[in-house]
Amino acid sequence: SQTIHQWPATLVQPVGSPLSLECTVEGTSNPNLYWYRQAAGRGLQLLFYSVGIGQISSEVPQNLSASRPQDRQFILSSKKLLLSDSGFYLCAWSVQAPVAFFGQGTRLTVV
């Protein structure tokens, strides 16, 4: 069966520090991969999606970037975190788009 792993579960980082969140999917090939951010009390905002290795689409201009170095690996990065980057980050995958399955999320607090 397919599973999605997202880590770390929680992260506290100082302003100006770099960020790397990793997401991997098992049990499927060539999935669509997504990064969402959920700010407190708000819905989910699509940040990036990828339909294949090296193919990244960005939904909103921001301080973050994404990469897909392998078929089932999706990485969310930042060179310098801002306070406004705090939130709950969710990775998701789909094969029979657009049904998406979500990881357990990463709670990022920038201090």
Size of the site for another protein (CB under 8 A): 26
Q: How far is the CB of 28 from another protein (least distance, A)?
A: 16
Q: How far is the CB of 52 from another protein (least distance, A)?
A: 11
* Separation CA 107–CA 40 (nearest Å): 11
* Separation CA 86–CA 3 (nearest Å): 26
Using the rule CB under 8 A, give the single segment among 12-20, 21-29, 74-82, 97-105 that binds another protein: 97-105
Residues 30-69 that bind another protein (CB under 8 A): 32, 34, 36, 41-46, 49, 51, 57, 59
- Is 34 in contact with 93 (CB distance < 8 Å)? yes
- Report residue 42: phi and psi, to 5°: -130, 170
Report if residue 7 touches another protein, rule: CB under 8 A: no
Q: How far is the CB of 80 from another protein (least distance, A)?
A: 27
* Separation CA 41–CA 108 (nearest Å): 15
Rg (CA), the chain: 13
- State the residues that interact with another protein by CB under 8 A: 6, 32, 34, 36, 41-46, 49, 51, 57, 59, 90, 92, 97-105, 107
